[in-house]
Amino acid sequence: MGISTVSIGFLPSYTSIGIAAPLLLMLCRFGQGVGLGGEWGGAVLLAIENAPPNKRAWYGMFPQLGAPIGLLLSGGTFLILTDTMSPQDFLDYGWRIPFISSSLLVVLGFYIRLKITETPAFENVKKEKEEVKIPFFTLVKFYKNQLIFGTFAAITTFLVFYLMTVFPLSWATSDLGYSKRDFLLMQLFSVLFFALFIPVSALVADRIGRRKMLVCTTIAIALFGFVFSFFLNSGSPFLVTLFLCVGMILMGFTYGPLGTFLSELFPTNVRYSGTSLAFNMAGIIGAAFAPMIAIWLATHYGLTYVGFYLTAAACISLFSLLMISKEEHKF
């Protein structure tokens, strides 16, 4: 993932190599996707499988903090560059700076990985010779319901994220009259609440249970969809900022315990594959086309239907959460 990210900063322009430039960008993005697809599950399980039973959500939320921290760093970097560079300089070379600078994080991450050992839970699986050769087949054969319902339980998490970040930035700057800089500042402020409520959600989830926590949050998201248009279309910067903050608070509540919840659906010998598959398939279903669908709905039917879209997804997730057994697999 790190190599792909840094490579984007060195890509030749379209004027230099023509159609090969976007094709190389797609290849780099593919590499990022492959890296993230495996990276997230490993990071979450490393934390959770080393956690005391009563603090799994707390340990599992630390990898989740990467999302808001990354948003703050990327958004803040963008603001600094656009404020200190001319538009032409930014297009010429300024956009490359964040990608190339990420090489420092790549080196740090690589060093940390060299020091990491397997978790006690997985070491026990190897000791008992319970490893499976092809986890995917085992998942489909024995844990199909957990995989399917786990996936759809998580789709609302991804949809909320994109309806609070990509879609409103595009819609507000093109149709609601906000400048990109002003709206980005509003979004960055709301991301602080995202970061704050991830640990809050973990503390609550360890007390009342991950499933119950996600059920309550999903119901709140379904209700939030009904006021989506009222706040975003209000014309008031205060109400729009409040809207973004509430959305990000809900995002923190659903994202914080998600990794722990998904990991508890599967036994250790297929936990990595099961957790990662459910999470990433939810990302594809819930997020891949979310901004386009939201823009199409807003253009043809109005923002009210974007809210209905969110509510409908939340209802699907709620049904999936209720269909999942309360049984937790041993760690």
Under 8 Å between Cβ of 262 and 279? yes
Residue 243, helix vs strand vs coil? helix
Identify whether 21 is part of a domain: no
Chain segment 172-202, per-residue pLDDT in tens = 998 888 988 899 999 999 999 999 999 999 9
Model pLDDT for residues 28-73, shown as the tens digit of each residue: 888 888 777 778 888 898 889 888 889 999 999 999 998 999 889 8
Residue 224 DSSP SS3: helix
Question: Which residues constitute the domain of residue 226?
Answer: 135-323
Residue 304 lies in a domain: yes
Residue 255 lies in a domain: yes
Q: Return the biggest CA–CA distance within the chain.
A: 63
In a domain, 13, yes or no: no
**Closest-CA residue to 65 (of 187, 226, 201, 208):** 201
215 falls in which pLDDT band (50, 70, 90)? very high
Query: 235-257: per-residue pLDDT in tens?
Result: 899 999 999 999 999 999 999 99
Tokens of 152: 């759809």
Distance from C-alpha of 280 to C-alpha of 154, rounded to nearest angstrom: 9
Identify whether 143 is part of a domain.
yes
CB neighbours (10 Å) of residue 191?
A: 25
143 and 270 Cβ atoms separated by less than 8 Å: yes
Our count of domains for the chain comes to: 1
Nearest alpha-carbon partner for 60 in 42, 43, 46, 48? 48
Structural domain contains residue 34: no
Judge whether residue 310 has pLDDT over 90. yes
Q: Is residue 153 part of a domain?
A: yes
Cβ density class 247-266: b for 16+ within 10 Å, e for less: bbbbbbbbbbbbbbbbbbbb
Which residue, chain included where needed, has tokens 């409908």?
Answer: 312
The CATH number of whichever domain residue 182 belongs to comes to: 1.20.1250.20
pLDDT exceeds cutoff 70 at 272: yes
> Does the structure show a pLDDT above 90 at 131?
no
| Buried/exposed 276-303: b ≥16 CB within 10 Å, e otherwise | bbbbbbbbebbbeebbebbbebbeeeeb
Between 306 and 34, name the one with better pLDDT: 306
pLDDT-derived band at 75 (thresholds 50, 70, 90) equals confident
Q: How confident is the model at residue 126, as a pLDDT? A: 66
First CA to last CA across the chain, in angstroms? 28
Which is more confidently placed, 41 or 276?
276
Q: What is the mean pLDDT of the chain?
A: 89
Task: Look at residue 78 and tell me if it is in a domain.
Answer: no
Determine the average pLDDT of the residues in 16-34.
Answer: 87
329 Ramachandran zone, left/alpha/beta (phi>0; psi -120 to 50): beta
